[in-house]
Chains A and B, each alone.
Chain A
């Protein structure tokens, strides 16, 4: 299991903010962790999948989309902050993501 450092969190946050600013054509200063992806940015569900692909490549992650799908059904993402938290969990746990639910 990968260790999430403060620098990882900063890096992921930066990538997510830049991605949404670019794709939704909004100034980055308008985005914070409480920004709602659909309501505030007019985003779409595909963006979540694109983010996963970006992080899979960047961190060379071993994780199947169906694992993320099962997790996301129980833990839906609405805000930028929630998306960052989920990406960090994916980086940390990869295919062991669902173990979190099993523990609970």
Chain B
């Protein structure tokens, strides 16, 4: 019999706060974390807004990471390590009581953030700051974990992939505990100009908090966000025996490739639909079980159109009864961290019976006609939920979670 996998620790560092509870409160209040960019001079960029992590992060980071180690990390890596330490503390796990060889770390990392806005890079630390494996490595060093630790890069689906692999390791008996998540920031002029050149970013700079408007008629691209989300996954019986708090159970997943285009999703959401369908099958749940979908919902023309079509393909008429919301309306698109951040929000929605809204939903796109939980959080007892992540390159992931 396969083992069951639960989430026993979680943490969030985003533009909406530096703790899980601060984030949850702001998400449920429908607040936006998107502001004018302060990290650098934006005069040469068409997009001048982003969802930046508050400056209080520096003090938080100092309280969790030794100065010596911090000097060898980028700000992004520090976000991930800080979030990991908060998630482990939240889980109550004491690694002294565990076989560290059966404890692993898997992180979604698209890049480490060693960009032109990174402070304090020197010839002595540039290699460490650039290593894409540095985030999982530092976390394993922190707790002297000797199970596998590695980074996954599947663009915007990276940390959803990390979660799926962590789930699989525990389920198959290769590990008892896996710390999974991701951290990212591409709030730098190179990335913004690059994404502007692809017409992927919103240029609705004023007011910033209105720019990310998934599923709306006037959506004009995604808004870059930064942050980190980390979860502690644990074998269910072990977690129950130590009296751990169980946020939610991971019930299954699907990872697919579209084999179609480096940027655009497959026409009419065919690849997305296949992913959702396979995830339901993998988890052994039916379309009637699903009570909420945390959408990838980027606020781009194609994603929101195709994701809506995909949900309709899988759920048919039932699609209209399932609340679908986009956390990116508030947090922007945190790229490599988004899969984990949104899985955490999905787990909280299951645990607490509240669905965070899609904000800025003022002018509905007539072609997109699902229930997007417009502008206000909603109370609903959910038993099973999905979290979708779709990345450039055709990397798709759907995670299924149970109460």
Contacts and interface: CB of A to CB of B under 8 A. Distances in A.
A41 to B, nearest CB: 9
17 contacts: A23-B67, A23-B68, A24-B66, A24-B68, A25-B66, A25-B67, A25-B68, A42-B66, A42-B68, A43-B68, A44-B68, A46-B72, A46-B124, A47-B68, A49-B124, A50-B124, A53-B124
Contacts of A50: 124
Contacts, number: 17
Interface of B: 66-68, 72, 124
A-side interface mostly: helix
Nearest to B67: A25
Nearest to A44: B68
Contacts of B72: 46
Interface residues of A, number: 11
Contacts of B68: 23-25, 42-44, 47
Interface of A: 23-25, 42-44, 46-47, 49-50, 53
A49 B72 CA distance: 14
Listed residue (B67, B68, B72, B124) with the most chain A CB atoms within 10 angstroms of its CB:
B68
A48 B300 CA distance: 50
Contacts of A24: 66, 68
Given A24-B68, A43-B68, 6 more contacts: A24-B66, A25-B67, A25-B68, A42-B66, A42-B68, A53-B124
Contacts of A43: 68
A40 B390 CA distance: 47
A13 B188 CA distance: 42
A93 B299 CA distance: 65
A24 B66 CA distance: 8
Nearest to A43: B68
A43 B66 CA distance: 11
A50 B122 CA distance: 11
Contacts of A25: 66-68
Contacts of B66: 24-25, 42
Contacts of B67: 23, 25
Nearest to A53: B124
Contacts of A49: 124
A43 B68 CA distance: 8
A46 B69 CA distance: 11
A25 B72 CA distance: 15
A41 B67 CA distance: 13
B208 to A, nearest CB: 38
Nearest to A50: B124
A43 to B, nearest CB: 7
Contacts of A42: 66, 68
The 3 closest A-B pairs by CB, nearest first: A23-B68, A25-B67, A24-B68
A29 B72 CA distance: 26
A47 B67 CA distance: 13
A65 to B, nearest CB: 12
